[in-house]
Amino acid sequence: MGPIDALIHLTNLIAPGLGLGLISASLAKLLWRRDLAAVPWRCLAGWAACASILVSIAGLVLTGRDGRMGTYGAMVLACAAALWWVGFRRRGGAA
């Protein structure tokens, strides 16, 4: 495998987690506009994307393959947990 192929594979591994983080942060800011007004969108998106990407990598390490449905389910749960933690829990427990 050449360097271009390796870069394409790495991008395809990271893309679902990044997309999930960006879309879920946008929807969270839209749905909970007042509650998340003090939290920057970048902060929400960054934490959600990082959590999703880490779970994707962990799924690859644990199962030996990427793209498993269990890994995608765990990505959704990790993304939701990261959004909750950054958006609601870190503000002092007022949620």
The predicted-structure confidence for 35-44, as pLDDT tens digits, reads as follows: 999 999 999 9
Side-chain-facing half-sphere of 89: CA atoms under 13 Å: 8
- pLDDT-derived band at 95, boundaries 50, 70, 90: very low
Q: Which domain holds residue 79?
A: 3-91
Q: E strand or H helix at 61, and its extent?
A: helix 41-63
Stretch 14-36: mean pLDDT:
95
CB atoms within 10 A of CB 60: 15
CB atoms within 10 A of CB 21: 25
- pLDDT-derived band at 46, boundaries 50, 70, 90: very high
Stretch 13-31: mean pLDDT:
96
Stretch 28-55: mean pLDDT:
94
CA distances (Å), 43 to each of 5, 7, 48, 50, in order? 31, 26, 8, 11
Number of domains in the chain: 1
